[in-house]
A and B are shown apart, each in its own frame.
Chain A
Amino acid sequence: MLKIKKWLVALGNGAIEFLRYIGSLTVFLSEIAFWLFHPPLRVKQVIRQAEKIGVSSLPIVTLISLFTGMVLALQSAYQMQKIQAEMYIASLVALSMIRELGPVLTALIVAGRCGAAITAEIGAMKVTEQIDALETLATNPINYLVVPKFWALLFSLTVLTVYSAFVGILGGYIVGVYKLHIPHHMYMKMTFEPLTQSDMRNGLYKSVVFAIVICVISSFEGMRTQGGAEGVGKATTSSVVRSFVLIIACDCLLTAFMYFFGR
């Protein structure tokens, strides 16, 4: 009996903690939204950040997208060859890369690579009182630190997503044309014919939402860092884990939403 009670109390506390987290996250998001179009627009900083995010993620996005495209083509070949429908491999690769894997894989890579770096940077500034120092110099930390990162993430993530889908399709093409011997013109036709504008739009919508998720989680976790170098480590880990979970959850919701309403 006592055990059950303890268990329920723990569950309740967990739920309260979770709701509180979501609540503060929402407040934080609205603060970012408030400062988003507030001058000064730090264009130089945005460009520098976007460069950093783009360049640091490019190699790994290339590698993972290429292999994913190749694996998709090879795996589907098993089934498709049985029913003599190899040419549909092209459409399958293109659609999955554009609607699903391009946005999600890129977001996960950027969350792991750049989201973690953002949390570590802001967290280290927090524990060394640099965030307080910004405020004493009459500068809002969200406006100074977070907003440029937001624009940079938004821009680089959409560009990287488009790039990732392209590279994935290229991977599928290499396998399809050189290994499975689907003719070149057939592969191209089957790649582009079934694509609609809404497919591409949906992929981009997803990457916009993921950019917001990465920016909000990573800077929020950075801002509430406590307890020295150890705290920065903890914040970085939880930032990556939470971004991952939220990206997948948002992906699921968005896909469902688009399935039911977006056609």
Chain B
Amino acid sequence: MIEIINLCKSFGNQKVLDNVNLTINTGETTVIIGRSGCGKSVLLKHIIGLMKPDSGQIFIDGKDITKLYGKALNETRMKFGMLFQNSALFDSLPVWANVAFSMLEHTTRTRPAIMHRVRECLGFVGLEGVEDLKPAALSGGMRKRVGLARCIAFKPEIILYDEPTTGLDPIMADSINTLIRGLHDKLKITSVAVTHDMTSAYKMADKVAMLYGGKIIAVGTPEEVKNTKNPIVKQFIYGEAEGPITRNT
């Protein structure tokens, strides 16, 4: 379980997160929606300890990751996988070494065992015969898939997705959504995704939370969110130019 309690973060004078409170249950997929630049990536980076908050706590299975450093932090991070917005594959390494990265770094498994796992993970995301290519030779959708394979290679308990479908064509986006849904159903992985793509949010989510003005202003099942009375949430999910969000700014 992930519990975010009163999380605050500012960059200079800009208050990006302002008392965020959110609980993410084990085995659930929670999708955090919000406008571009509202702090979704910043929130995810706090959950995995890439950024330290100004105040507040984040408990990962009871351990406060904001207070962890060095070895203890790395041990907690081994539970995580993270898919970055632009995949963030290591472009000096071939695809297989990207996928095998954690195993090469943190285990003494033999080469054939590693390659077996690499093929298994690539097969899971629907890729074959790309092991020896460099990431630069792949299309955006394929990079996302390799990134996903790298996430699951070390059998994480929690996966964080940063805008998994942004920048992909609708068909590729849907196949990524299906993959993520499949991961959740088959491996019972706890997932946190951030996105501004409502189609993808409805498809993946058990629970939707909306981040607005540095706060979580609504949490609910996709059904509940669709029938919301909150005018801000309504404007966002129906994508209207006129409404309270645009009036305030």
A contact residues vs B (CB 8 Å cutoff)? 121, 125, 128-130, 132-139, 144
Task: Tell me whether B168 is interfacial, beta carbon within 8 Å.
Answer: no
Rounded to whole angstroms, the CA-CA distance of A198 and B58 in the bound complex is: 58
B contact residues vs A (CB 8 Å cutoff)? 45, 48, 50, 74-75, 77-78, 80-82, 84-86, 88-92, 101-102, 105-106, 150, 154
Q: Is the CB of A136 within 8 A of B105?
A: no
Rounded to whole angstroms, the CA-CA distance of A173 and B28 in the bound complex is: 77
Query: Nearest 3 CB-CB pairs, A to B?
Result: A138-B74, A133-B88, A129-B88
Q: Which residue of B lies closest to A139 (CB)?
A: B105
* Complex contacts, B74 vs chain A, CB 8 Å: 138
Rounded to whole angstroms, the CA-CA distance of A139 and B85 in the bound complex is: 20
Q: Is the CB of A138 within 8 A of B82?
A: no
Q: Is the CB of A138 within 8 A of B78?
A: yes
Q: Is the interface of A mostly helix, strand, loop or mixed?
A: helix
Q: Is the CB of A130 within 8 A of B105?
A: no
Q: Is the CB of A136 within 8 A of B91?
A: no
Q: Is the CB of B45 within 8 A of A132?
A: yes
Rounded to whole angstroms, the CA-CA distance of A137 and B154 in the bound complex is: 9
* Complex contacts, B106 vs chain A, CB 8 Å: 138
Rounded to whole angstroms, the CA-CA distance of A144 and B104 in the bound complex is: 12
* Complex contacts, B78 vs chain A, CB 8 Å: 138
Q: List 7 A-B contacts (CB under 8 A).
A: A129-B85, A129-B86, A136-B48, A136-B77, A137-B150, A138-B74, A139-B105
Q: Is the CB of A135 within 8 A of B102?
A: no
Select B105's contact among A128, A129, A132, A138, beta carbons within 8 Å.
A138
Select B86's contact among A125, A128, A144, beta carbons within 8 Å.
A128
* Complex contacts, A136 vs chain B, CB 8 Å: 48, 50, 77, 80-82
* Complex contacts, A121 vs chain B, CB 8 Å: 92
